[in-house]
Amino acid sequence: MNNNELKYIQSFAHKKHWDQESVFIVEGPKVVKELLESDWTIEKIYASSEWLNAQEPIVVPTEQVDEIILARISQFKTANQVLALVKKKVANTPLQFDKEFTLVLDGIQDPGNFGTIIRTADWFGIKQMIVSEDNAGLYNPKVIQSTMGSFLRVNVAQCNIEAVLSDNKLPVYGAVLSGAPLSRTKMQAPCFLVIGNESKGIRPNLQPFITHPITISSFGTAESLNAAVATGILLSSWRA
């Protein structure tokens, strides 16, 4: 690996770079293995000799690097054998709103929360979600890491949520503090489920579109639930 290539990969630690580039970084044996079995395009793999020697023949470009180089290019505190540069993929459009349960994220800012929500959606069989334009970016390295590979199976589209909801007549469930108790509500797909910002909730311009406001009943004194935790509870209730 030459110095220019090294600096290029290191630059993905900065938002301006990973946001503008046509590729993104994926690390770790498990997720790279899933990538190799998917229809995503891998531009190049950088890996330790141990990882490369354990693989079947790989058709994408690879380069063996030592542990020192892996540590320098990794976004992790401890490098994990393999790093791949992957081509970004535009969400399949138009999404099939009339056939699916669509998760809607309104301004989820924390990359860890966003990635965990994608992973949770994958667990419950959600195939698609739409996110607001100010949501954390899908290709943020921390988001990709938090999904644990689930970004490969959940179709994520960034769009104008208000425009989408106004164009559809499906039920819109919204997680709010003053809605009907979740225990008395049964979400029915196809529909939308809106999850709001971690601190501000669902924005006022989206609230008129919510046909079924719902809330997770509290039995303690905590002010609110983490957005990812709330999403997991709501999706578990839907699947129950």
How far separated are the first and last CA of the chain, in Å rounded?
A: 51
Kindly state whether residue 208 falls inside one of the protein's structural domains: yes
Q: What is the pLDDT of residues 16-72, one digit of tens each?
A: 777 888 999 999 999 999 999 999 999 999 999 999 999 999 999 999 999 999 999
Q: Are residues 194 and 76 in the same domain?
A: no
Kindly state whether residue 176 falls inside one of the protein's structural domains: yes
Number of domains forming the structure of the chain:
2
Q: Are residues 107 and 8 in the same domain?
A: no
Kindly state whether residue 129 falls inside one of the protein's structural domains: yes
Is residue 92 scored above 70 in pLDDT?
no
Asked if residues 96 and 130 have their Cβ atoms less than 8 Å apart, the reply is no
* pLDDT confidence bin for 222, thresholds 50/70/90: confident
Predicted confidence at residue 177, as pLDDT, reads 87
Kindly state whether residue 93 falls inside one of the protein's structural domains: no
Residue partners of 108: CB distance under 8 A and separation at least 6? 114, 117, 131, 135, 136, 195, 197, 198, 227
Boundary of a domain, candidates 52, 87, 122: 87
Kindly state whether residue 94 falls inside one of the protein's structural domains: no
Residue partners of 178: CB distance under 8 A and separation at least 6? 213, 215
Q: Are residues 67 and 134 in the same domain?
A: no
Kindly state whether residue 96 falls inside one of the protein's structural domains: no
Whole-angstrom distance, CA of residue 212 vs CA of residue 107: 20
Please state, for a pLDDT cut of 70, what percent of the chain lies above it: 98
Q: Are residues 141 and 229 in the same domain?
A: yes
Kindly state whether residue 125 falls inside one of the protein's structural domains: yes
Is residue 193 scored above 80 in pLDDT?
yes
Domain encompassing residue 69: 3-87
Q: Are residues 108 and 83 in the same domain?
A: no
Q: How far is CA 25 from CA 17, 73, 138, 152, 153, in A?
A: 11, 10, 11, 13, 17
